[in-house]
């Protein structure tokens, strides 16, 4: 005696060795013996052999017409043997053959859209409306499968269907693994044994490497687009006094968001007053307002060569920017100093209108206000140079402030590597296309005008940070516990020391038009100015305010993403510069492992032959091929240019950036494309394709 039974959704057959009311002992063709519950034993038979029965039943089941079977099935529940009799036999009193019964069981079991399972071997036909919906879904699935196959075939030929091109960034970076576009790329990648990114590039989906990087960034960070809603800048309602100063700003010519300006009063009197004046949008833009919502959504201005996405709309920015020739609402910090010793004797913060006399520009004046200029100014006052007296004093003060911070810091700050300026041949304010001519120039970090502005801003941020703490008003601080390797700069709401800068506390407050954290801190500082010791009650953000922690978390993520994009897109333009100028070799310094850093360009790359070289070793590197999508380039060391690395330069480089705020050198972008099947489809293994 043999038995056909169901086990975990599969049909098996074997010889009955023993039987009780509850179970059977069955021997399979493999020789394995299994215990089968009596309820799972669906069909007992004496012939044919078990394997032959299953083979015959599977072949015959394909011939059963489901529509016909559904038509004459009764409305009540029925067993598979009853259906087999009605379908195969014209004699209602004659049972169907064992093969016919097995075939009917297999067919009913695999067709749940026609017949619902009502128990072991028992079924009930589906309602007509449910059946029609199921059949429509099956037909749609067939059409989608055909579409996927057609798209995959087109991709394999090197043609990218429009729907896949439109879904490019979603497929690569945030895929819906059940979408037909995604499945087509998976199938084409497997069929052609080509990495998805290479496949899509070859098929024309990625027409412009620059647009690939740019649109990927927008897809990930600005999914709703970069346009601003229609907004109107509110006017400052406060009756602000007019400051008796002549203020000036120092920025690049491309800067439109002029946040900060300086003034100097009392030169030659023995007591000098330094004014640090910060644009005050916080006087008009209030927390919870539509403009605040825009700023909080973007959190920072995004910078890149030849273009930027501002945190706030340009007309809003221009309403509060410190434009020359205007009296501008400002948050001012006044520091009184002994002119001879530069010792600070007091400070005061005011809300006022500040006359902005000049907007000075780095790229115009850096060649005038050099170290040599200020060395000469120490011997003879530069009365014939506009702002010469003020800048000479500010340079002396900046050097003094830097030296004081370095005492706290424990070692000097060294800026061994220059900053690089990128200039594109594109109209101002117009989005680059990626093929513009690019020029790269250098400006040594710590140049005199840079130093003046940097030290003034550090002074303001540290002074106001401490002032907020004294009033019991929370702010957004940047802190660093020590200069030990691996100790990073953190953001929080407590006034903790910043070891890298050598200050007791540091709260970003000097760029409220460009960074949302600075705008938040400005609101808090304004509360201190207006309410004094009761400011904690009036400030928009209270101690332990969950909303403040939310701002910090969002800003940290956005600022990291924006900086990462800026580094990556600057690398793109560096590679473009190499191509446009036909540069095949560069001089470089061994960096770490097999990496080298170009001496005259912002470029880090792996170089064959650099392994084992001491750090700082000077080499000449022949450049290899450039991949503008992955931003990858490699090289080969062809010549050693020095015998022994410069120990002093190495030490300076080791110290540089150890305040934890510096960015790592931009390298190739890693684009890992996960083209695994969705788990819901029962295929959890990855396709093994990445780029």
- The domains of the chain are located at 2-126, 247-563, 583-654
Give the other-Cβ count within 10 Å of 668's Cβ: 17
| Cα 663 from Cα 246, distance rounded (Å) | 36
Give the other-Cβ count within 10 Å of 14's Cβ: 23
Give the pLDDT of residue 138: 85
**Residue among 59, 65, 54 at smallest CA distance from 114:** 65
Give the pLDDT of residue 645: 61
Give the pLDDT of residue 390: 94
Which stretch of 186-200, 356-370, 405-419 has the lowest confidence by average pLDDT? 405-419
| Cα 690 from Cα 674, distance rounded (Å) | 7
**Residue among 302, 575, 583 at smallest CA distance from 434:** 575
Give the pLDDT of residue 656: 47
The β-bridge relationship of strands 33-37 and 122-125 is unpaired
- Give CA torsion, residues 6, 10, 11, 13, to 10 deg: -90
Give the pLDDT of residue 666: 46
Q: What is the enclosing helix (H) or strand (E) of 6?
A: strand 2-7
Residues 529 and 241 sit within 8 Å (Cβ to Cβ) = no
pLDDT in tens, 90-139: 676 788 899 999 999 999 999 998 999 888 899 999 998 989 888 888 88
Which residues, 6 or more positions from 480, have their beta carbon under 8 angstroms from its beta carbon? Answer: 487, 488, 489, 490, 497, 498, 499, 500, 501, 659, 660
pLDDT in tens, 538-563: 999 999 899 999 999 999 999 999 99
- Give CA torsion, residues 304, 293, 277, 349, to 10 deg: -150
User: Which one of 2.40.50, 2.60.40, 1.10.3470, 2.40.128 gives the CATH number of domain 583-654?
Assistant: 2.40.50
**Token digits for 104?**
């009917």
Residues 132 and 140 sit within 8 Å (Cβ to Cβ) = no
Q: 480-485: which pairs have CB atoms within 8 A and are 24 or more residues apart?
A: 480/659, 480/660, 483/409, 483/410, 483/411, 483/658, 483/659
Q: Write the DSSP assignment of 337-356 as a string of letters.
A: EETTT--EEEEEEEEEEEEE
**Residue among 372, 445, 272, 340 at smallest CA distance from 382:** 372
SS3 367: coil
Phi-psi map region of 444: left, alpha, beta (phi>0 left; psi -120 to 50 alpha): beta
Mean pLDDT for all residues in the chain: 88
Ordered alpha helix ranges (H), 49-97:
50-61, 66-72, 80-88
Residue 72's pLDDT band, with cuts at 50, 70 and 90, is: confident
Q: CA-based angle 621:622:625, to the nearest 5? A: 125
Q: What percent of the chain has pLDDT over 70?
A: 92
pLDDT in tens, 452-510: 999 999 999 999 999 999 999 999 999 999 888 888 999 999 999 999 999 999 999 99
* pTM of the predicted model as reported, rounded to 2 decimal places: 0.78
Which residues, 6 or more positions from 481, have their beta carbon under 8 angstroms from its beta carbon? Answer: 487, 496, 497, 499
pLDDT in tens, 2-34: 999 998 888 999 999 999 989 999 999 889 999
Which residues, 6 or more positions from 643, have their beta carbon under 8 angstroms from its beta carbon? Answer: none
Say which residue the tokens 């209270």 belong to. Answer: 542
Mean pLDDT value across residues 587-604 = 92
SS3 93: coil
Residues 58 and 106 sit within 8 Å (Cβ to Cβ) = yes
Q: What percent of the chain has pLDDT over 90?
A: 65
Per-residue HEC secondary structure of 246-292 comes to CEEEEECCCCCCCCEEEEEECCCCCEEEEEEEEECHHHCCCCCCHHH
Instruction: State which of 332-336, 646-650, 676-680 shows the largest mean pLDDT.
Output: 332-336
**Confidence check: pLDDT of 682 > 50:** no
| Cα 337 from Cα 341, distance rounded (Å) | 8
For the four alpha carbons of 39, 40, 45 and 46, in that order, the dihedral sign comes to: negative
For the four alpha carbons of 505, 511, 516 and 522, in that order, the dihedral sign comes to: positive
**Residue among 108, 143, 101 at smallest CA distance from 123:** 108
pLDDT in tens, 382-441: 768 889 999 999 999 999 999 999 999 888 887 777 888 899 988 777 889 999 999 999
**Confidence check: pLDDT of 686 > 70:** no
Angstrom CA distances, 575 to 210, 299, 411, 435, 634, stand at 11, 30, 36, 12, 11
Which residues, 6 or more positions from 573, have their beta carbon under 8 angstroms from its beta carbon? Answer: 305, 422, 424, 438, 440
Give the pLDDT of residue 584: 95
**Token digits for 73?**
């099935």
Q: What is the number of helices (H) and of strands (E) in the chain?
A: 20, 24
Angstrom CA distances, 309 to 149, 213, 428, 558, 592, stand at 41, 15, 13, 13, 35
| Cα 305 from Cα 441, distance rounded (Å) | 12
| Cα 133 from Cα 261, distance rounded (Å) | 70
Angstrom CA distances, 596 to 153, 419, 440, 587, 617, stand at 43, 18, 19, 9, 9
Which residues, 6 or more positions from 350, have their beta carbon under 8 angstroms from its beta carbon? Answer: 241, 243, 331, 332, 334, 529
**Token digits for 660?**
């934890």
Residue 648's pLDDT band, with cuts at 50, 70 and 90, is: low
Residues 436 and 306 sit within 8 Å (Cβ to Cβ) = yes
Say which residue the tokens 């941020």 belong to. Answer: 461
Which residues, 6 or more positions from 510, have their beta carbon under 8 angstroms from its beta carbon? Answer: 259, 260, 276, 278, 457, 460, 461, 518
Q: 34 — phi, psi (to 5°)? A: -130, 155
Which residues, 6 or more positions from 505, have their beta carbon under 8 angstroms from its beta carbon? Answer: 462, 465, 466, 469, 477, 479, 495, 496, 497, 498
**Confidence check: pLDDT of 649 > 60:** no
């Amino acid at each position: 005696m043999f038995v056909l039974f169901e086990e975990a959704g599969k049909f098996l057959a074997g010889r009955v060795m023993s039987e009780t009311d509850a179970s059977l002992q069955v021997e399979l063709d493999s020789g394995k013996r299994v215990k089968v519950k009596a309820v799972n034993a669906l069909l007992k038979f004496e012939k044919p052999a078990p394997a032959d029965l299953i083979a015959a039943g599977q072949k015959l089941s394909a011939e059963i017409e489901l529509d016909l079977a559904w038509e004459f099935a009764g409305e009540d529940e029925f067993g598979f043997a009853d259906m087999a009799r009605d379908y195969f036999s014209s004699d209602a009193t004659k049972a169907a053959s064992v093969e016919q019964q097995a075939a009917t069981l297999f067919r009913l079991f695999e067709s749940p859209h026609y017949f619902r399972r009502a128990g072991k071997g028992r079924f009930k036909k589906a309602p007509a409306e449910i059946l029609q919906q199921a059949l429509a879904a099956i037909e749609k699935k067939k059409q989608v499968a055909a579409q996927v196959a057609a798209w995959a075939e087109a991709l394999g030929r090197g043609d990218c269907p429009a729907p896949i091109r439109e879904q490019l960034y979603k497929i690569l970076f945030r895929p819906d693994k059940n979408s037909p576009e995604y499945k087509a790329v998976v199938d084409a990648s497997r069929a052609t044994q080509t990495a998805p990114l290479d496949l899509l590039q070859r098929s024309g989906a990625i027409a412009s490497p620059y647009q690939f990087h740019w649109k990927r960034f927008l897809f990930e960070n600005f999914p709703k687009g970069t346009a601003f809603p229609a907004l109107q800048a509110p006017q400052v309602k406060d009756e602000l006094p007019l400051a008796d100063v002549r203020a000036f700003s120092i920025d690049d010519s491309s800067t439109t968001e002029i946040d900060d300006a300086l003034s100097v009063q009392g030169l030659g009197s023995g007591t000098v007053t330094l004014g640090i004046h910060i644009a005050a949008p916080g006087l008009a833009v209030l927390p919870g307002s539509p403009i605040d919502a825009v700023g909080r959504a973007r959190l920072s201005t995004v910078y890149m060569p030849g273009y930027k996405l501002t945190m706030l709309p340009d007309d809003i920015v221009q309403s509060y920017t410190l434009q020359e020739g205007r009296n501008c609402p400002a948050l001012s910090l006044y520091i009184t100093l002994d002119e001879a010793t530069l010792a600070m004797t007091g400070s005061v913060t005011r809300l006022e209108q500040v006359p902005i006399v000049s907007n000075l520009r780095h790229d115009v004046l850096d060649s005038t206000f050099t170290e040599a200029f200020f060395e000469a100014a120490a011997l003879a006052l530069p009365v014939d140079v506009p702002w010469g007296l003020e800048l000479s004093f500010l340079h002396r003060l900046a050097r003094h402030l830097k030296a004081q911070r370095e005492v706290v810091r424990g070692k000097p700050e060294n800026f061994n590597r220059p900053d690089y300026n990128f200039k594109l041949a594109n109209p101002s304010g117009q989005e680059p296309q990626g093929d513009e001519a690019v020029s790269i120039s250098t400006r040594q970090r710590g140049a005199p005008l840079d130093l003046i502005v940097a030290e003034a801003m550090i002074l303001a941020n540290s002074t106001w940070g401490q002032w907020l703490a004294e009033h019991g008003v929370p702010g957004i601080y940047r802190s660093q516990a020590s200069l030990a390797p691996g100790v990073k700069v953190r953001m929080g709401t407590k006034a903790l020391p910043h070891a890298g800068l050598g200050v007791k506390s540091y709260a970003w407050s000097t760029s409220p038009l460009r960074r949302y954290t600075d705008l938040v801190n400005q609101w808090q500082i304004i509360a201190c100015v207006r309410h004094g010791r009761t400011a904690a009650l009036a400030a928009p953000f209270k101690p332990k305010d969950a909303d403040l922690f939310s701002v910090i978390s969002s800003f940290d993520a956005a600022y990291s993403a924006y900086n990462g994009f800026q580094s990556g897109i600057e690398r793109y333009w560096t590679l473009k510069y190499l191509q446009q100028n036909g540069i095949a070799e560069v001089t470089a310094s061994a960096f770490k492992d097999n990496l080298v850093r170009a001496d005259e360009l912002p470029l880090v790359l792996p170089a064959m032959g650099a392994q084992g070289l001491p750090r700082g070793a000077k080499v000449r590197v022949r450049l290899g091929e450039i991949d503008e999508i992955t931003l990858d380039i490699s090289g080969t060391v062809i010549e050693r240019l020095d015998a022994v690395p410069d120990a002093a330069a190495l030490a300076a480089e080791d110290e540089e950036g150890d305040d934890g705020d510096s960015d790592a050198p931009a390298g190739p972008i890693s684009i890992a494309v996960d083209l695994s099947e969705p788990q819901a489809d029962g295929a959890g293994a990855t396709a093994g394709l990445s780029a």
